[in-house]
Amino acid sequence: MTTKTALVAAAVATLVATGLAACGSSSNGGGGAKGGGTLTIQGDAGNPTLVENFNPFVAATELHGGYLMYEPLEFRSPVDGTFTPFLATGHKFTDPKTLDFTIRQNVKWSDGQPFTAADVVFTFNLIKKYPALDGNGVWAQITGVATSGNDVTVTFKAPNVPFAGVVAKTPIVPEHLWSSVPDPTKFTNTKPVGTGPFTLDKFAPTQYSLKKNPTYWQAAKIAPSEVLFPAQSSNQATNQLDVSSGKFDWSYNFLPNVQKTYVSRSKTNIYWFPPGGVITLYLNLTKAPYNDANFRKGISLALDRTTIAQKAVNGYLDAASQSGLILPNLKKWLDPSLPDQGVVKPDPAAAQAAFAQAGYTMQGGKLVKDGKQASMSIVMPNNFTDWVAAAKEVSTQLGQVGIKASLDLPQFPQYQSSIQAGTFDAAIGGFGGTGDPYTDFNNALNSSFAAPVKTATANNFERFKDPTVDQALATLAAATDPEAQQQATHTLEQVMYKQVPAVLMYYGGSWGLFSTKNFTGWPSADNPYTLPTSYDGSLLLVVTRLTKA
């Protein structure tokens, strides 16, 4: 055997030996403190690997861990709208256009500097200076932010009580660091300094980890010592397999047949699928015949929502109320004069009557006007399997009333650009889910959002325009008296029910999957303190409520 052959043989042998050794070692390499206290949350999607970006203002690129490092003033529950204080201990409207936040004392930034009201004012002025950072459109509603002692005062352009929740959820950043950032819109913030319960520990291409911040103002309440965020694969099926194999303490994934695929796999697996929004058939109101309320009513009356829900989410969730309220969460706002709590039952005769009012008649199994059959193309992201299943059922049901419906299934970015630009025909989308009726209705119906076709808009992409509805929204925004708020909310519910700006179908689930092996205190039906979404502000609230198992 020559020396060269010997060397090659040695190399191969080493490789095989280490390979065999690795087979015996644990499969979760790199990171992970030994001995409990590690919270593993299903992480962000890779791009193709994780891109390190913890800029809390640009939601599209921020890694989810940022929500555990930066805190808002207060967090409003998307379930029922109750506030949990964080950097502010409370808020109140001193007059209809002035909102006062009391700032928490003795809070430190993770680099040791003290947190003060000045940081709050700086943050709001920062997002005013750089509108690209104002993702929630705060400065469209307020005129100024100022300190007065330990308080921060926000002045509004017009009375808007519900908007306090949006103002409150702005993440606060340290003035002493961000004031020297040349361009905050491009700042990736790879060494984040926040007031939150965790700080960045390690960053690797497919996983990042956070470690507990010992100087956090409620550090005693925080159970995990470390939080791991392993990245998701672009293969959705593989992600579901990962979830089912018990890799995470908390994950967010639609799983079919959750009893069989998750709960039965381990005694400590639990789930909670509350309604997080309403899955809705949006019709492009700039196009005929969708601009005719009668046509829309016909579609609403033709659909069997219970069957759609059954096909889409296997009975996890029910048919939705056309009032626009998520029930039973927001039951207290429901207009009692709406029949069946606003849930529209299928009525073929009434549907035909409505179509007739719009000029359409049934001819040979087709719904026809001026010789042309009614047809629609429904767009949705191809990997939202429950939306696709719902749309297939909608297409079948519409076919039975003579409308030819086809499905368009691009990837999510294409879907999003299509609906935001208003170039779609019909689309499946989400409605509501903020926990506050005004915000839900405003996002969907306020004509100020209805940009012309080909100009992108995130809200009211169906382009609904009605000045009386705008007026009703303004009334609700200004109402401080509970009775007035109820009245104004009922008015908007009636608009949803009678004018059918969008056809609400079934409640979309918020797919919370948990393990009680390491931690308990997860949100549940008995304790619905927030939605189980692991990709937004709920992260912070949930983690502060966890206790060791």
Partner 1 sequence: MPYLLRKGVLFVVTLWAAITLNFILPRLMPGSPEDAALGKLASAGVPITNAERHAVEIQLGVPHTNVFTQYWDYLKNIVQFKFGHSYSFPSETVAHTIGKALPWTLVLVGATTVFAFVVGTLLGVFAGWRRGKAADTTVTLGATFFAAFPPFWLGLLLLYFLAYKNGWFPIKGGYAEGATPNWSPSFLADAFKHSVLPALTLAVTTLSGWVFGMRNNMINTLGEDYVTFAEANGLRTRTVALLYAARNALLPNVTAFGLSLGAVVGGSVLVEGVFSYPGLGNLLYIAVTNHDFPLMQALFLVITVSMLVAIFVVDLLYARLDPRVRRA
Partner 2 sequence: MTIITAVPPPEAPGALADVPIRPSRVPGPLLFVGRAVRTLWSNSKARIGIVLLGVIALIAIFAPLIAPHSPTATTFTPYLNPTGQNWFGTTGNGQDVFSQMVYGARVSLLVGLAAGILATVVAVTIGLIAGYRPGVIDEVLSFVTNLTLVIPGIPLMIILAAYIQSRSIWTIVLVVAFTSWATGARVIRSQATTLRTREFVTSAVFSGERLFRIVFREILPNMTSLVAASFFSAATAAVMAEASLEFLGLGSPDTVSWGTILYAAQQQNALLTGQWLLILAPGLAIALLATSFTLINFGVDALSNPRLREK
Site for partner 2, rule CB under 8 A: 236-237, 240-241, 244, 255-257, 260-261, 311, 314, 382-383, 385, 389, 392-393, 396, 407, 409
Report the SS3 class of residue 443.
Answer: helix
- Choose which of 9, 13, 59, 61 interacts with partner 1 (CB under 8 A): 61
Place of tokens 């056309």: 322
Render 413-437 in DSSP notation, one character per residue.
HHHHHHHHHT--SEEEEEE--SS-H
Distance CA 45, CA 495 (A): 39
Is residue 211 involved in binding partner 1 (CB under 8 A)? no
Judged by beta carbon distances under 5 to 8 A according to partner kind, the member of partner 1, partner 2, none in contact with residue 143 is none
- When binding is defined by CB under 8 A, the residue of 105, 235, 257, 547 that contacts partner 1 is 235
* Beta carbon of residue 244, minimum distance to partner 2 (angstroms, whole number): 6
Q: Number of residues in contact with partner 1, rule: CB under 8 A?
A: 44
Site string for partner 1, 302-341 (x = CB under 8 A): ----------------------------------------
Residue 268 in the binding site for partner 1 (CB under 8 A): no
Query: Among the candidate windows 88-96, 235-243, 512-520, 537-545, which touches partner 1 by CB under 8 A?
Result: 235-243
CB of 281 to partner 1, least distance (A): 22
Q: What is the DSSP code string of 259-296?
A: HHHTGGG-TTEEEE--EEEEEEEEE-TTSTTTT-HHHH
- Residue 260 interaction partner, one of partner 1, partner 2, none, beta carbon < 5-8 Å per kind: partner 2
Q: Which residue has the tokens 């919370």?
A: 512
Q: Decide if residue 47 touches partner 1 (CB under 8 A).
A: yes
Which CB sits closer to partner 1, 197 or 230?
Answer: 230
Contacts of 127 (CB under 8 A, 6+ apart): 57, 133, 134, 138, 139, 170
Which residue in 2, 3, 5, 23 binds partner 1 (CB under 8 A)?
23
Give the Cα separation of 317 and 273 in Å (integer). 8
Residues ≥6 apart with Cβ < 8 Å to 305: 319, 320, 343, 344, 346, 505, 506
Given partner 2, partner 1, none, residue 524, with its beta carbon under 5 to 8 Å by kind, binds none
List Cα–Cα distances, 499 to 75, 272, 294, 479, 493, in angstroms. Answer: 33, 33, 8, 24, 10
Least CB distance to partner 1 at residue 379 (A): 13
Does residue 484 bind partner 1 (CB under 8 A)?
A: no
> Does 21 sit near partner 1 (CB under 8 A)?
yes
The answer to whether residue 135 forms part of the interface with partner 1 (CB under 8 A) is no
Q: What 3-state DSSP class applies to 373? A: strand
Burial class (CB in 10 A: 0-12, 13-18, 19+), 357: middle
d(CA 318, CA 80): 19
Q: Write down the H helix ranges in 185-255.
A: 236-244
Smaller CB separation from partner 2, 195 or 240: 240
CB hemisphere CA count around 500 (13 angstroms): 21
- Our CB check for partner 2 shows the closer of 260 and 498 to be 260
Q: According to the binding rule CB under 8 A, does residue 234 interact with partner 1?
A: yes
Q: What does 51 bind: partner 2, partner 1, none (CB cut-off 5 to 8 Å by kind)?
A: partner 1
State the binding partner of 215 from partner 1, partner 2, none, CB within 5 to 8 A by kind. none
Distance (Å, rounded) from C-alpha 144 to C-alpha 291?
Answer: 39
Q: Which does 32 bind (CB under 5 to 8 A by kind): partner 2, partner 1, none?
A: partner 1
Residue 480 binds what, of partner 2, partner 1, none (CB under 5 to 8 Å, by partner type)?
none
Residue with token string 């808007």: 160
For partner 1, the closer CB: 418 or 460: 418
Rule CB under 8 A: is residue 131 a binding residue for partner 1? no
Check: CB of residue 231 under 8 Å from CB of residue 47: no
**Omega prior to 328 cis, within 30 of 0:** yes
Q: Note whether 132 binds partner 1 by CB under 8 A.
A: no
Residue type, 179: S
User: Would you put residue 339 in left (φ > 0), alpha (ψ -120 to 50) or beta?
Assistant: beta
User: HSE (CB half, 13 Å, CA atoms) of 427?
Assistant: 26
Q: Does 10 bind partner 1 (CB under 8 A)?
A: no
Q: Summarize as ranges the residues that interact with partner 1 (CB under 8 A).
A: 14-15, 18-19, 21-23, 27-32, 47-49, 51, 60-61, 202, 204-207, 209, 228, 230-231, 233-235, 238, 241-242, 245, 382, 410-411, 413-414, 416-417, 420, 456
